[in-house]
Amino acid sequence: MGTLLLKKIPFWVSFLALGAIIYDLGFDQSESMQRILSSVYGTNFTLAFVGLVILYFKKEDRPKFKVWVFDFIYVVFVFFALRVVLGWQIPFFDHPNTWIYLTTIFVFVREFSAIKINFSRQYLNPAQLFIISFLLIIIAGMLLLMLPNATYSGIKPIDALFTSTSAVCVTGLAVVDTGTFYTTFGQIIIVCLIQIGGIGIMTFTSYFSYFFRGGSSYENQLMLREMTNSEKIAEVFGTLKKILLLTFFIEFVGAIFIYTSLDAAIIPSVLDRIYFSGFHSVSAFCNAGFSTLSAGFYDIGFRFNYSIQIYVSFLIIMGGIGFPILFNFLTYFKHLLVNSLKAIGKNNFYVYKPWIINMNTRIVVITTGILLIIGTVAFYALEYNNTLSEHSGFGKIVVAFFNSVTPRTAGFNNIDMSALTFAATMIIIFLMWVGASPGGTGGGIKTSTLAIATLNFFSIARGKNRVEVFKREISNNTINRAFAAISLSLIVIGMAVFAITIFDRKTGLLEIAFECFSAYTTTGLSLGITAGLSPESKAVLIVCMFIGRVSMLSILIAFFRQVKNLKYRYPSEEISIN
Per residue, the 3-state secondary structure of 215-256, as one string, reads: CCCHHHHHHHHHHHCCCCHHHHHHHHHHHHHHHHHHHHHHHH
Give the pLDDT confidence of 296-348 residue by residue, as tens digits.
899 988 999 999 999 999 999 998 888 788 888 888 887 777 777 666 655 55
pLDDT at 136 over 70: yes
In a 3-state reduction of DSSP, which class is residue 472? Answer: strand
Instruction: Output 221 or 178, whichever has higher pLDDT.
Output: 178
CB neighbours (10 Å) of residue 69? Answer: 9
User: Per-residue pLDDT averaged across 560-566, rounded?
Assistant: 63
Distance, CA of 290 to CA of 298 (rounded, Å): 13
Give the pLDDT confidence of 235-286 residue by residue, as tens digits.
555 667 777 888 889 999 999 999 999 998 999 999 999 999 999 999 999 8
Query: Integer distance in angstroms from the first to the last C-alpha of the chain?
Result: 70
Lowest mean pLDDT among 32-41, 194-203, 278-287, 407-416: 194-203
In contact, 193 and 186? CB cutoff 8 Å: no
- pLDDT band, residue 46 (cuts 50/70/90): confident
- pLDDT band, residue 218 (cuts 50/70/90): very low
Q: Hey, what's the torsion of the CAs at 214, 220, 225, 226, to 10 degrees?
A: -160
Distance, CA of 54 to CA of 370 (rounded, Å): 59
Sign for the CA dihedral angle at 229, 231, 237, 241 comes to: negative
Burial class of 66 by CB neighbour count within 10 A (0 to 12, 13 to 18, 19+): exposed
Q: Which domains are present in the chain?
A: 2-114 (1.20.120), 126-318 (no CATH), 323-559 (no CATH)
Packing angle of the helix pair 126-145, 201-213 (nearest 10 deg): 110
Helix (H) or strand (E) holding 469: strand 468-469
In a 3-state reduction of DSSP, which class is residue 151? Answer: strand
pLDDT at 1: 46
Closest by Cα among 296, 256, 259, 255 to 278:
255
Pairing, β 472-473 against β 468-469: antiparallel
pLDDT at 314: 93
pLDDT at 373: 95
Amino acid at 350: Y
Contacts of 515 (CB under 8 A, 6+ apart): 173, 500, 526, 527, 529, 530, 533, 541
Instruction: Output 371 or 72, whichever has higher pLDDT.
Output: 371
Burial class of 336 by CB neighbour count within 10 A (0 to 12, 13 to 18, 19+): exposed
Ramachandran class of 172: left when φ > 0, alpha when ψ lies in -120 to 50, beta otherwise: left
pLDDT at 307: 94
* Cα distances (angstroms) measured from residue 308 to each of 314, 377, 399: 10, 21, 11
User: Per-residue pLDDT averaged across 511-522, rounded?
Assistant: 93
pTM for this entry: 0.85
